[in-house]
């Protein structure tokens, strides 16, 4: 299917909506701002080398005394404060991360311990790597529409800096740490998810991985320190993602009975400077319709999409009455997208 077909207007005028309303959003960043020039010195490279090769001017890395659950809780508190929402009105917390704070218990329970919610508020983790927020938003919408819950907090957090291999610049220079949260409820049904799509191409499962920490690679099975560090084959990952993206977009838009021209703002996973460039070129969209915070945040893994969405919301680029596309790739290789009517 050509891009022209993606840009054309379908015969059907509207799509079915899975109701969900975003009441508020928030974000949190760790305390250490890392300039690309600082990494030039660390890697013994000429000034400007890191920014040229990574596309990042600066990003934030957690200090050794900062905890993922604390930064996540700060993002939830920010969302509650911005929306004037009472903490006790939250009846479920969904936490999503590419890498959790620890294998057990859930990161959700560690975040709940830091929040001022009602005693006994339930929470659980969703792990879909960089697409975790998108999956959690879809799960939340389904739970809200069963009336099991009335108001849900979703928070995505990652401290990618803790697992970087600085001997591999390709897999280390692009990442930043952070957390972002949204508070959602069902609403009146006039807005919500028009389409949702998630696919996995397992031939890319080894292109992006942290092998240590589970039952396969651990101290008892002879794991090495390098198994606990992030590794990536960027070129093969990019080629595979690029080869499936056109068909994926066509299916996502087809489910929504929409065309690209119906989308007001695109919020992609801030994967890399090449990834952001590819998305913009593939969509053939002006830059003011693509939310790009990559240069100042880097790739924040699961926190990437919701942080970009938060920035779109607080700047008014995403607002009530507008249609947003959330889209990205993740380890696996997974590709996911959502068309969301605000």
Q: What is the pLDDT of residues 75-94, one digit of tens each?
A: 999 999 999 999 999 999 99
Sign of CA dihedral 214, 219, 224, 226: positive
- What is the Cα–Cα distance from 190 to 320, expressed in whole angstroms? 11
Q: Is 106:125 a contact under the CB 8 Å cutoff?
A: yes
Instruction: Tell how far CA 223 is from the center of its chain.
Output: 29
End-to-end CA gap in the chain: 28
Contact residues for 41 (Cβ-Cβ < 8 A; gap 6+) = none
Question: Can you tell me the mean pLDDT for 256-270?
Answer: 96
pLDDT average, residue stretch 305-333: 97
**Residues 160-178: what's their mean pLDDT?**
92
- pLDDT (0 to 100) of residue 5: 41
pLDDT at 168 (0 to 100): 87
Q: Look at the block and give the residue holding tokens 């995403």.
A: 318
Reported confidence tier of residue 185, pLDDT bands at 50, 70, 90:
very high
Residue bearing the bigger pLDDT, 282 or 228: 228
The residue-averaged pLDDT of 64-82 equals: 98
Task: Inform me whether the pLDDT recorded for 17 exceeds 90.
Answer: yes
Confidence check: pLDDT of 10 > 60 = no
For the chain, domains (ranges, CATH) are 3-18+192-341 (3.40.47.10), 19-185 (3.40.47.10)
Q: Looking at residue 6, what is its pLDDT?
A: 55
| pLDDT at res. 157 | 98
Q: Which residues contact 231 (CB under 8 A, 6 or more apart)?
A: 165, 168, 171, 208, 209, 210, 211
How confident is residue 195, by pLDDT bands cut at 50, 70 and 90? very high
Question: Which runs of E-coded beta strand occur in the chain?
Answer: 18-19, 21-28, 32-35, 58-61, 92-96, 123-126, 151-158, 178-185, 192-200, 208-209, 231-232, 265-268, 323-330, 334-341
Please tell me the least confidently modeled range out of 2-6, 47-51, 196-200, 245-249. Answer: 2-6
User: What pLDDT score does 255 carry?
Assistant: 96
Percent of the chain with pLDDT over 70: 96
Average pLDDT over residues 94-120: 97
> Does residue 226 surpass a pLDDT of 70?
yes
- CB count, 10 Å around CB of 341? 23
Tell me: pLDDT of 9 over 50.
no
CA dist 163 and 179 (Å) reads: 17
Task: Return the pLDDT at 287.
Answer: 85
Paired tokens of 219: 């101290």
Per-residue confidence band for 133, with pLDDT thresholds at 50, 70 and 90: very high
- How high is the pLDDT of residue 16? 77
Percentage with pLDDT > 90 across the chain: 85
pTM of the entire predicted model: 0.94
């Amino acid at each position: 299917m050509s891009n022209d077909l993606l840009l054309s207007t379908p015969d059907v005028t509207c799509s079915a909506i899975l109701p969900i309303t975003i009441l508020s959003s928030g974000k949190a960043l760790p305390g250490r701002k890392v300039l690309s020039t600082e990494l030039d010195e660390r890697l013994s490279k000429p000034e400007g080398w890191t920014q040229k090769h990574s596309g990042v001017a600066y990003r934030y890395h957690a200090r050794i005394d900062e905890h993922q659950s604390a930064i996540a809780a700060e993002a939830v508190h920010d969302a509650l404060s911005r929306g004037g929402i009472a903490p006790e009105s939250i009846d479920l917390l969904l936490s999503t991360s590419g890498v959790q704070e620890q294998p057990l218990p859930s990161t959700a329970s560690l975040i709940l311990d830091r929040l001022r919610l009602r005693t006994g508020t339930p929470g659980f983790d969703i792990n879909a790597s960089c697409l975790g927020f998108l999956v959690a938003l879809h799960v939340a919408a389904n739970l809200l529409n069963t009336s099991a819950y009335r108001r849900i907090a979703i928070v995505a957090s990652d401290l990618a800096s803790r697992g970087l291999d600085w001997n591999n610049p390709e897999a280390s220079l692009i990442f930043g740490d952070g957390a972002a949260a949204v508070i959602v409820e069902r609403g009146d049904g006039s807005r919500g998810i028009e389409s949702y799509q998630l696919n996995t191409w397992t031939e890319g499962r080894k292109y992006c991985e942290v092998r240590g920490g589970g039952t396969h690679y651990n101290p008892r099975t002879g794991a090495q320190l390098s198994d606990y560090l992030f590794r990536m084959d960027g070129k093969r990952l990019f080629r595979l993602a690029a080869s499936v993206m056109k068909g994926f977009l066509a299916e996502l838009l087809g489910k929504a009975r929409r065309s690209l021209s119906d989308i007001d703002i695109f919020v992609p996973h801030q994967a890399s400077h090449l990834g952001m460039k590819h998305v913009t070129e593939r969509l053939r969209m002006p830059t003011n319709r693509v939310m790009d915070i990559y240069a100042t945040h880097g790739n924040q893994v699961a926190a990437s999409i919701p942080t970009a969405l938060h920035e779109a919301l607080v700047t008014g680029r995403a607002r009530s009455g507008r249609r947003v596309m959330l889209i990205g790739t993740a380890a696996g290789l997974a590709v996911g997208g959502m068309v969301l009517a605000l």
